[in-house]
Amino acid sequence: MKIIVFDVGGTAIKFGMVDENFEMIFSGEIPTQEFEHKGNMVMAALESRLDEFRGRYDAIGVSTAGQIDYANGRVVGGVANIPNYYGSEIRKVFEDKYEVPVAVDNDVNCAGIGEAHFGAAKGCDDFLCLTYGTGVGGCIYMNGDVYRGSRFAAGEFGHMATHKDGRMCTCGRIGCYEAYAACRVFTDAVSKRMGRPMTGREIFEPENINNPIIVEELDKWEDEIALGLRNLCYMFNPTLIVLGGGIMSEDLIIKHVNEKLYAQLEENYLHVKVVKAQLRNKAGMFGAAYLANEKLKTWSK
Ligand SMILES: [Zn+2]
């Protein structure tokens, strides 16, 4: 049994092949010029890989940016950065053409499912997963499954309001969590004050991490991260919160965020642990593989 998987992001498309033990046999990235961030070209880029490997997979799993109607495998929102992608009938188009089951879900949901079955949240039935990048994405995992909401848009933690009269968010509203807690906000602030563009990785180099400007900006950013997590703890009372995305793999951030969060919680919330994601940039593909395998179990053409 093999499953071909994709992870469609705003800036990159990754793909891979997973076997019956959920081992990734190989993985790669589709060159940007093949899809140029346009929805119709994204579909064509996926199809070219599906054609290339046809006959070598039993199911297709797609983890993708945007709000996804999970039941129908259709893109229903949140893809302003990928023109023409809205409305794409990923499941129908691929099931009709390739005659294998197709599972499609939002990328953070897929990351959460990946972490739940193969990573940092293995064995945990109630947890939250957040990813910090250019924005903040979220996945609500409850009672052993993703909670997707009435219109497949639950868990968009990046747009909960944490600052009244605050900054303008990319969504056009004011004071959203991601306008303060996204990784990009931190790297932009550091770059501005340091007078040169700096990536997250550079900031955490030993020669930079103790720079007073960086220490100060890191502290401010971690305060923002913890503030949002505090709200989520009071809403969901989770045992575990998994943080993913670029620099969340830094142990220092996880340590500080745990400390800042505990300082704001009371007794019945204090058992929560904030941990880093384990599957790194393959979490979405593993989650999509899991969903595709579930579909395969009940598949009849
Ligand atoms: Zn927003």
Distance 211 CA to ligand 1 centre (A): 31
Asked whether residue 169 is assigned to any structural domain, the reply reads yes
Same domain for 82 and 140, yes or no, is no
Q: Which amino acid is at 173?
A: R
Examine residue 94 and state whether it is found in any structural domain, yes or no.
yes
Return the structure tokens found at 127.
Answer: 């947890």
**Is 117 contained in some domain?**
no
* Secondary structure element (H or E) that encloses residue 124, with its range: none
Distances (CA, A) of 170 to 50, 132, 144, 192: 34, 15, 32, 19
| Angle at CA of residue 65, ends 285 and 202, nearest 5° | 80
| Whole-number average pLDDT of the chain | 95
Cα 297 to ligand 1 centroid, rounded to whole Å: 38
Contacts of residue 218, defined as CB under 8 A and 6 or more positions apart, other chains included, come to 186, 203, 252, 253, 256
pLDDT of residue 210: 97
CA of 173 to the centre of ligand 1 (A): 5
Q: Kindly state whether residues 184 and 98 are assigned to the same domain.
A: no
The per-residue b/e assignment along 78-91, b for 16 or more CB within 10 angstroms, e otherwise, is bbeebeebbebbbb
For residues 98 and 134, membership in a common domain is answered with: no
Amino acid 44: pLDDT: 93
Q: Does position 218 have pLDDT exceeding 70, yes or no?
A: yes
Domain contains 29: yes
Closest residue by Cα to residue 13 from 69, 64, 50, 47 = 64
Stretch 203-210: mean pLDDT: 96
Tell me, yes or no, whether 131 and 82 share the same domain.
no
Two tokens, residue 153: 């848009």
| 137 in the same domain as 56 | no
| pLDDT of 34 | 83
Q: Which residue range forms the structural domain that includes residue 66? A: 2-110+281-297
pLDDT for 301: 65
Q: How far is CA 210 from CA 151, 202, 206, in A?
A: 45, 12, 7
C-alpha of residue 180 to centroid of ligand 1, in Å: 10
**241 plus 290 within the same structural domain:** no
Chain segment 58-108, per-residue pLDDT in tens: 999 999 999 999 999 999 998 888 889 999 999 999 999 999 999 999 999
Cα of 167 from ligand 1 centre, angstroms? 10
Q: What is the pLDDT of residue 38?
A: 81
| Span 43-54, pLDDT tens digits | 999 999 999 999
According to the model, what pLDDT value does residue 37 have?
74
Question: For ligand 1, a single-atom ion, which residues have Cβ within 5 Å?
Answer: 159, 169, 171, 173, 176
Confidence of residue 150 (pLDDT cuts 50, 70, 90): very high
For residue 85, the CA-to-ligand 1 centroid distance in Å is 20
User: Residues 17-27: what's their mean pLDDT?
Assistant: 96
Are 100 and 202 part of one and the same domain?
no
User: Are 42 and 24 within one domain?
Assistant: yes
Determine the 3-state secondary structure of 240 from DSSP: strand
C-alpha 259 – ligand 1 centre gap (Å): 26
Whether residue 236 sits in one domain with residue 190:
yes
The CATH number covering residue 22 comes to 3.30.420.40
What is the model's pLDDT at position 238?
96
Q: Is residue 115 part of a domain?
A: no
Q: Read off the pLDDT of each residue in 225-249 and give the average, rounded to a whole number.
A: 96
Cα(159) to centroid of ligand 1, in Å? 4
Share of the chain above pLDDT 90, in %: 89
Number of domains in the chain: 2
pLDDT computed for residue 228 by the predictor: 98
CB 16 within 8 A of CB 24: yes
If asked whether residues 9 and 153 sit together in one domain, one would say no
Point out the least confidently predicted range of 22-36, 87-101, 103-117: 22-36
Residue 118 located in a structural domain? no
Distance 166 CA to ligand 1 centre (A): 11
Closest CA to 276 of 292, 257, 293: 257
The answer to whether the beta carbons of residues 134 and 298 sit under 8 Å apart is: no
Check whether residue 250 and residue 170 sit in a common domain.
yes
- Confirm whether 287 is domain-assigned: yes
Asked if 271 and 291 sit in the same domain, the reply is no
Does any domain span residue 193?
Answer: yes
Q: Averaged over 280-294, what is the pLDDT?
A: 96
Between 275 and 83, the higher pLDDT residue: 275
Give the residue from 13, 116, 120 showing the smallest Cα distance to 63.
Answer: 13
Q: What is the pLDDT averaged over residues 157-185?
A: 96
